[in-house]
Structure 1
Amino acid sequence: MHFAAVAYAGESTMEPLRYYHNITSNTLVVLEAMAAHKVKTLIYSSTCATYGEPVKMPITEQTPQLPINPYGKAKKMAEDIIIDFSKTTDMAVMILRYFNVIGSDPEGRLGEAPQPELRVHGRISGACFDAARGIIPGLKVKGIDYKTADGTCVRDYIDVTDLVDAHVKALAHAKPRKVGIYNVGTGKGRSVKEFVEACKKATGVDIKVEYLNRRPGDYAEVFSDPSKIKQELNWKAQYTDLKKSLQIAWKWQKSHLNGYSHS
């Protein structure tokens, strides 16, 4: 299972070479190592960013892949390399295109703790929690003039616990000489404003919100059609209550104020 990558769309527009190197080149190296050691099964973490900004919602696996930032382009290239290579071998390949991952382990063992220098690019849940903890003065929402119901970006938020389950099912269904490609999402779009409201409720903190100009490389609306993965792998998102997912993640944040370090 190949999860390793850098994964911030905004950062990828500023540091494209780092993204192509880490995502595309390093995936090539992984495949070469797999070939050398006859490792036959690959579950690959891809992303809805490979689709770019499709004209039609929801996104199916047949939606044309026209990525608009180096992150999405690098992942699309890695997918192409994997698919081309798989045609020459009897590999079993599963490519999972994640939507926006949130939450943490309900049993409290694992949570999200980005390195301090990555917080600036961070995901909205991390920024919400940082604001709730007073690490940052408030939340900066970038872009309120999108063509969406409330003007903020719409995304498909998938709980990490569901994502883990998708990988377990993908591994169980991986077959030699076959490439399975699946969207992993809830099938429902939620706006940034909705997300912030859920975060305020989950943390019990009235987070201060400041609205700013759009971020480079962002798109208005992205959500999945997950019917293929349901049909073929019998997987469906179970953790779809935004507030609950955020409450579980907030509990982890509060009990791990320094992330994974004990200092």
Structure 2
Amino acid sequence: MNAALDLLALGSAWLVMFSLALNAPATLTRSGGWLVATLLGYLLPGLGLLALAGLGLAPPHLLGLALCIAAGFGTSGAALHRLAGGDAQQAARLVIGSSLLAVPLMFLLVAVTLGSAAQMPLLGKVLLLGLLGQALPYVLGRGLLRWRPDLGRRLAAPLERVAGVAVIGLIALIAQQTLPRLVVQVELLVAASLLVGLLLAASLGRQRVHEGNPQLLLLVRNLGGAILLTRVLPEPGEVLLAITAFGVPMYAAALLGLLCYRHGLRQPIED
């Protein structure tokens, strides 16, 4: 990874988590139905990753795909969820909760996936990046709301927009660097599409979106959080390639899902 990508990855992670803190609901708890859907959003792709490991997918590609799942739910998914008529407050809860959970999850994932190659200095860097890029800006944002609530409320909307632009810039820069290599990686694209398909299966529910079913939100993962760790991992270029491979079908499926909801092409099943 080059310096521009490193800086943009860390900067976008800070902006996202800081703006999430300023826009966070009062509580991060909600109904059991959402909890079940969220667990499925980790469990089904987790089983898919085990299957891909058994089929011999290259270790750096497997790690990159696994980081996409462990990184939690993305803010762009929350935006699509709101556009489809979903619960904005609950979307914020899930994004924040999963982003904070991603810090220990990604640490454990790297330790397990790399095995003996995961030396303590490497694991220390992974944990430090997770804390600095995900947890610290959230804590600082919540602190600002307590110390200067008026300033925090004024900054909330502009920072959310800047964070969105930063994420788009990060994705565009990564696409420019990795897409030319990705077009010949058929096996990797198929593996990534399989995981996205499992996320789609996990997100299908019996409720309408506005009644609380987080279809679009569970599908879109926090790729910025996964990218943040890439620079300290072995074979970072291959890990980043796998993250890009996941992002292509993920965003395509999310946009298609949004179009279906907006144009009434999907008929929800009534209880």
Q: Same fold (TM over 0.5)?
A: no
* Structure with more strand by fraction: 1
* Structure with more helix by fraction: 2
Using the size of structure 2 for normalisation, the TM-score is 0.29
